[in-house]
Amino acid sequence: MTRAVNSVFSGRFREALQYNLLSLTIMPLIGIYLLYRAIKYIKTGSERCAIWEYIFLVCTLFICLFYGIYRNYLNIVSGNIDITLFYKVLRLFTNVLTKSL
């Protein structure tokens, strides 16, 4: 991710996409959200989050986690797919979510 962010700041977007797809998709959204939070705090002084902010952050977290699992453990390009690991991780996340609710 560091090389991808460095490539984005240098203006080499195609290279950044090759390093990490999330560098051009999720990172700008997180940056915009943090700017929104800073402006909201400066204007109102409130640190409270709306429900849509929690949903956004949880969705962003899951996108990053599933992308990381897909990219690092499910090696689709070489044809070496360990789909059982993916299902185990998915089952773990659903168990954690159901217990926390």
Please state, in angstroms and rounded to a whole number, the distance separating the CA atoms of residues 95 and 87: 12
What would the two tokens of residue 54 be?
Answer: 């929690």
What is the mean predicted confidence (pLDDT) over 42-46?
90
Question: What CA–CA distance (Å, rounded) separates 63 from 59?
Answer: 6
Q: Is the pLDDT of residue 81 over 60?
A: no
Report domain extents, the chain.
Answer: 1-48, 52-101
Q: Rounded to two decimals, what is the model's pTM?
A: 0.60
Mean pLDDT (the chain) is: 79
